[in-house]
């Protein structure tokens, strides 16, 4: 699967809602390469390869500004929520995925909650931007 929740992300979502576990204050969106593709079994950022350029993460607040457009879809029996458009400044080399992590003070230990494929390797020159629009979480029931 190219997009999805990690098992850690699923567990955190359930513990936060049903067991009142405190969510992180912020979450971070990172660009990573395809050296190791994120999967449901990915645990921490250290298991992936960040793009080589520094400062290519975006801090997000857990609020309706950064996580907007929450929708209940009774026709398709799902609920969705989108992340605001992410704007990464170039230079960017070999970005293949966006991952969403917690805010652990040790960057390598940040838990990966979710991942999205960019569809192809993205490279952006210095002074240009890479805009990632409409990243979405879909909650659906498996049959």
Tens-place pLDDT, residues 36-68? 999 999 999 999 999 988 778 999 999 999 999
pLDDT in the model for residue 124: 93
- Specify the length of the chain in residues: 143
Q: Is residue 142 part of a domain?
A: no
Range of the domain at 88: 4-137
pTM of the model as a whole: 0.93
DSSP 6-30: -HHHHHHHHHHHHS-PPPPSEEEEE
Q: Decide if pLDDT at 24 tops 90.
A: yes
Cβ burial of 17 (10 Å; 0-12, 13-18, 19+) is exposed
Pairing of strands 112-124, 4-5: antiparallel
Prior bond of 91 cis (ω within 30°)? yes
The C-alpha atoms of residue 36 and residue 103 are separated, in whole angstroms, by 22
Contact yes or no for 27/57 (Cβ under 8 A): no
pLDDT in the model for residue 59: 95
Q: Decide if pLDDT at 1 tops 60.
A: no
Half-sphere exposure of 39 (CA within 13 A, CB side): 4
Q: Is residue 96 part of a domain?
A: yes
Give tens-digit pLDDT for 75-116.
999 999 999 999 999 899 999 999 999 999 999 999 999 999
Q: Is residue 143 part of a domain?
A: no
Which of 132, 138, 102 has the alpha carbon at shortest distance from 117? Answer: 132
Sequence-separated (6 or more) residues with CB below 8 Å from residue 74: none
Q: Is residue 40 part of a domain?
A: yes
Which of 53, 30, 3, 40 has the alpha carbon at shortest distance from 107? Answer: 30
Q: Is residue 47 part of a domain?
A: yes
Number of domains, the chain = 1
| 53 vs 71, residue with greater confidence | 71
pLDDT in the model for residue 53: 80
């Amino acid at each position: 699967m190219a997009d999805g929740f990690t098992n850690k992300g699923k567990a955190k979502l359930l513990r936060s809602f049903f067991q009142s576990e405190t969510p992180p204050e912020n979450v971070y969106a990172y660009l990573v390469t395809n050296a190791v593709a994120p999967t449901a079994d990915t645990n921490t950022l250290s298991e992936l390869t960040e793009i080589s350029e520094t400062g290519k993460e975006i801090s997000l607040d857990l609020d309706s500004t950064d996580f907007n457009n929450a929708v209940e879809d009774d026709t398709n029996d799902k609920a969705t929520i989108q992340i605001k458009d992410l704007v990464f400044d170039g230079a960017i080399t070999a970005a293949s995925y966006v991952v969403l992590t917690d805010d652990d003070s040790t960057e390598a230990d940040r838990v990966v909650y979710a991942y999205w494929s960019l569809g192809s390797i993205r490279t952006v020159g210095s002074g240009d931007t890479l805009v990632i629009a409409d990243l979405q979480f879909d909650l659906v029931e498996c049959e």
